[in-house]
Amino acid sequence: MRSRSLSEPRRKPARDEGPVIEQVRMVSTGTEATMTAVRLARGVTGRSLVVKFAGHYHGHSDGLLADAGSGLATLALPASAGVPAEIAAQTLVLPYNDRTAVETAFASYGPRIAAVIVEAAAANMGVIAPEPGFNAFLAATAHRNGALLIVDEVLTGFRVSPAGWLGLEPAAADIVTFGKVIGGGMPLAGLGGRREVMEQLAPTGPVYQAGTLSGNPVAVAAGLATLQAADAAVYARVDEVSAAIAAATSDALSAAGVEHVVSRAGSLFSIQFLPSRAHDYAGVQRQEAFRYGPFFHAMLEAGVSLPPSAYEAWFVSAAHDDAAVSRVLEALPAAARAAAAAAPSA
Ligand SMILES: Cc1ncc(COP(=O)(O)O)c(C=O)c1O
């Protein structure tokens, strides 16, 4: 075991301080990465409660399925069957971007909270960026109370910048989780943090984690090749194309008279069928989501496959060349008219 206890008071993290990743553990899926991160936080703090935010998805481990956005939101399911109440009770679900709710949770349960887990920028209830400074506030609040901050970059990592969302807006995360882009399409994910935290994982520490395919060489090679190919020009192109598609989508919807906002976090974006931007799950659920189906199908008929839910983010990749982008732009006006003509189902 290490010499210094993690519950010892430590230097107050600066507002612009990013995470320190001295050691990583490779796993195969984002679900494993966040599940392991939570177990690690519990192991090092000796506490059991975890704070998450409504509409944030961290994979399908039991305790993290409460109010988990995207797939569950599309199907209007509050949580999954098969999760014992005793396990769900270990997760406190708070409204996103709500500092008062976080402070109240720590005031009530502080000594029992092992970790706060947050999507670096929420992208499983559509895209909702954190209010400026929110992630740094979470780090400061967690640390003041002897808890850890887990920032889930499974979706944003290596995508919105080479250093993920935390590269755009640093916050002193203790554990950062990665998936998706890190594997370049192969099953690879990971978690990382300060050595003193990561060393608590087996075999050096008492927190168990293992996996037959963890860090398998084929997936790691594919991931490395992808990250090496993703140079500055790739990120600049993705930013440029996503801005162009977001703007054209908004123009088309405005021309068709559809009330909406385009909600962005770096190159990620989604449409909220709302008069003004929602900042949390309850807010985004008030949108006229019935407009998305006709919009989606009109785009599909024109050969453009969008995410199949209003609660999923639109991703641009380096594979979207000029011809693909033109096709998207040309399809938008008719799709916007289909959204305008949509009516709520009875
Ligand atoms: C933010 C976030 N965390 C975790 C996961 C789970 O990753 P996986 O599907 O690889 O288990 C996802 C998947 O969409 C995600 O978006």
Q: Which amino acid is at 293?
A: G
Distance CA 261, CA 274 (A): 6
Residue 78: its pLDDT value, please?
55
User: What residues have CB less than 8 Å from 228, skipping those under 6 apart?
Assistant: none
The span from the CA of 322 to the CA of 174, in Å, is 40
Domain boundaries, the chain: 23-229, 232-340
Please give the distance, rounded to the nearest whole angstrom, from the Cα atom of residue 251 to the centre of ligand 1: 31
Pocket test for ligand 1, best of 34, 38, 311, 314 (most atoms within 8 A of CB): 34
Domain 232-340 sits in which CATH superfamily?
A: Aspartate Aminotransferase, domain 1 (3.90.1150.10)
Q: Output the residue whose Cα is nearest ligand 1's atom 3.
A: 58
pLDDT at 65: 83
Asked if residues 208 and 42 have their Cβ atoms less than 8 Å apart, the reply is: no
How many whole angstroms from 137 Cα to the centroid of ligand 1? Answer: 24
pLDDT at 15: 41
Q: Is 280 one of the catalytic residues?
A: no
Q: What is the pLDDT along the chain (346 residues), one digit of tens a residue?
A: 333 444 444 444 444 577 889 999 999 999 999 999 999 999 999 999 999 999 999 999 988 887 766 655 555 455 778 888 888 889 999 999 999 999 999 999 999 999 999 999 999 999 999 999 999 999 999 999 999 999 999 999 999 999 999 999 999 999 999 999 999 999 999 999 999 999 999 999 999 999 999 999 999 999 999 999 999 999 999 999 999 999 999 999 999 999 999 999 999 999 999 999 999 999 999 999 999 999 999 999 999 999 999 999 999 999 999 999 999 999 999 999 999 999 887 6
Query: In this predicted structure, what is the pLDDT of residue 68?
Result: 67
End-to-end CA distance of the chain: 61
Counting from 1 in the atom list of ligand 1, the atom nearest the Cα of 30 is 7
Which residue has a Cα nearest atom 7 of ligand 1? 30
Query: Residue 73's pLDDT is what?
Result: 53
Confidence at residue 80, expressed as pLDDT on a 0 to 100 scale: 78
Identify the active-site residue in 52, 67, 96, 152: 152
Predicted confidence at residue 12, as pLDDT, reads: 44
Q: What is the pLDDT of residues 207-258, one digit of tens each?
A: 999 999 999 999 999 999 999 999 999 999 999 999 999 999 999 999 999 9
Q: Which CATH number fits domain 23-229: 2.60.40.420, 3.90.1150.200, 3.40.640.10, 3.40.50.720?
A: 3.40.640.10
Ligand 1 center from residue 124 Cα (angstroms): 9
- What separation in Å is there between the alpha carbon of 51 and the centre of ligand 1? 17
* 40 contact partners, CB below 8 Å, separation of at least 6: 175, 191, 197, 198, 200, 201, 207, 209
What is the tens place of the pLDDT at every residue in 62-76? 888 877 666 555 554
Q: How many Cβ atoms sit within 10 Å of the Cβ of residue 286?
A: 12
Do the domains 232-340 and 23-229 match in fold?
A: no
Residues with CB under 6 A from ligand 1: 29-31, 34, 57-59, 119, 124, 152, 154-155, 179, 189
